[in-house]
């Protein structure tokens, strides 16, 4: 399977309220969420799905109601305008890396396989993991390890990488992992997951892209339109939670004399929805998923 969609029924239940409406799936991947959305739409409904990964285009759906846009979802608003769409009824984003991207060893996303340092979701872009590891300065590396990987030893790791590459370029995931073979066995899986996450976020500018998508989703949603986001780590979820609360990523909204502020969304549930034990057992990659849904005010 190209990708096993997480929280499939719950996300589409929250998303589709008008069978005749126009919907957006920001992360097409294997098309699991898109197919479920289409199953809820009438002949009048329309679905626009986005994916920047060329591999995902092989999964396109033969349906007159469906359009697959080969673009990063940071171009959501302008891409929809090209099809004459200025408002939609709902937007879904299932963030993170697809099962296919993890399983394709040569993409360099997985900590389990030896592969070229790549990690690009869009293989046409110039910046890859090899350039990040071999060309970024020590301070830049330390910052991204700390902020994107939440690694407390970020400065030490950056210093070791810069020292090592003076004599030999770091070419593969195994080259990178060998540098940190001293990590205790009981910590190694979490450490590599955090390290690879930090590099991947930088390569794909994931947090900045997410912010741009959320703002544009708000812009294109009709009043009472729904935004459904499934995230997989705290950095993403923090941005989503804050944006759904007050339409901002930092700072505080202006309040009136009574202490109230203008909301961007009403939350369907105050707490995130998480997969149940059965789904996690069937799909281990669902274990860190959190879903939040907002209704545009």
What would the DSSP string read from start to end of 199-248?
Answer: HHHHHHTHHHHHHHHHHHHHHHEEEEEEEEEEE-SHHHHHHHHHHHHHS-
Binding residues: 31-33, 51, 73, 94, 101
User: Nearest 10 degrees: CA dihedral of 7, 12, 14, 19?
Assistant: -170
What integer best gives the mean pLDDT of the chain? 93
The pLDDT tens digits for 231-256 are: 999 999 999 999 999 898 988 878 87
The pLDDT tens digits for 258-275 are: 878 888 899 999 999 999
pLDDT reported for residue 263: 87
Domains of the chain: 8-99+207-296 (3.40.50.150), 105-204 (1.10.150.170)
Q: Is 2's pLDDT higher than 70?
A: no
pLDDT reported for residue 1: 56
Hunting for tokens 């741009």 — which residue is that? 212
pLDDT reported for residue 252: 80
**Exposure b/e, 188-200, CB count within 10 A at least 16 = b:** eeebbebbbbbbb
pLDDT reported for residue 61: 97
Spatial separation of the C-alpha atoms in residues 138 and 174, rounded to whole Å: 21
Percent of residues, the chain, with pLDDT higher than 90: 81
Binding residues for S-adenosyl-L-methionine: 31-33, 51, 73, 94, 101
Tokens of 258: 């009574």
Name the band, by pLDDT with cuts 50, 70 and 90, for residue 107.
confident
The pLDDT tens digits for 66-77 are: 999 999 999 999
Interacting residues of 284 by C-beta distance below 8 A, sequence separation 6+: none
């Amino acid at each position: 399977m190209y990708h096993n969609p997480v929280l499939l029924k719950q996300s589409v239940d929250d998303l589709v309220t008008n069978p005749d409406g126009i919907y957006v799936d920001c992360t097409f991947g294997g098309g699991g969420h898109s197919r479920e959305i289409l199953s809820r739409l009438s002949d009048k409904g329309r679905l626009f799905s986005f994916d920047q990964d060329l591999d995902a285009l092989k999964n396109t759906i033969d349906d007159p109601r469906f359009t697959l846009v080969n673009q990063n979802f940071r171009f959501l608003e302008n891409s929809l305008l090209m099809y004459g769409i200025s408002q939609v009824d709902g937007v879904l984003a299932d963030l993170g890396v697809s099962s296919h991207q993890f399983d394709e060893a040569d993409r360099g996303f997985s900590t389990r396989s030896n592969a070229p340092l790549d990690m690009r979701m869009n293989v046409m872009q110039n910046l890859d993991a090899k350039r990040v590891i071999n060309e970024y300065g020590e301070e830049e590396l330390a910052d991204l390890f700390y902020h994107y990987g939440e690694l407390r030893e970020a400065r030490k790791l950056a210093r070791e990488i810069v020292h090592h590459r003076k004599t030999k370029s770091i070419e593969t995931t195994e080259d990178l992992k060998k540098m940190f073979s001293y990590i205790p066995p009981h910590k190694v899986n979490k450490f590599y997951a955090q390290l690879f996450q930090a590099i991947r976020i930088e390569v794909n500018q994931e947090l900045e892209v997410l912010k741009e998508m959320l703002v544009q989703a708000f812009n294109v949603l009709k009043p009472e339109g729904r935004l459904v986001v499934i995230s997989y780590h705290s950095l993403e979820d923090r941005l989503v939670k804050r944006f759904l609360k007050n339409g901002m990523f930092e700072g505080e909204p202006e309040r009136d004399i009574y202490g109230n502020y203008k909301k961007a969304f009403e939350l369907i549930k105050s707490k995130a929805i998480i997969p149940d034990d059965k789904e996690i057992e069937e799909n281990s990659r669902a274990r860190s998923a959190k879903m939040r849904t907002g209704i545009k005010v």
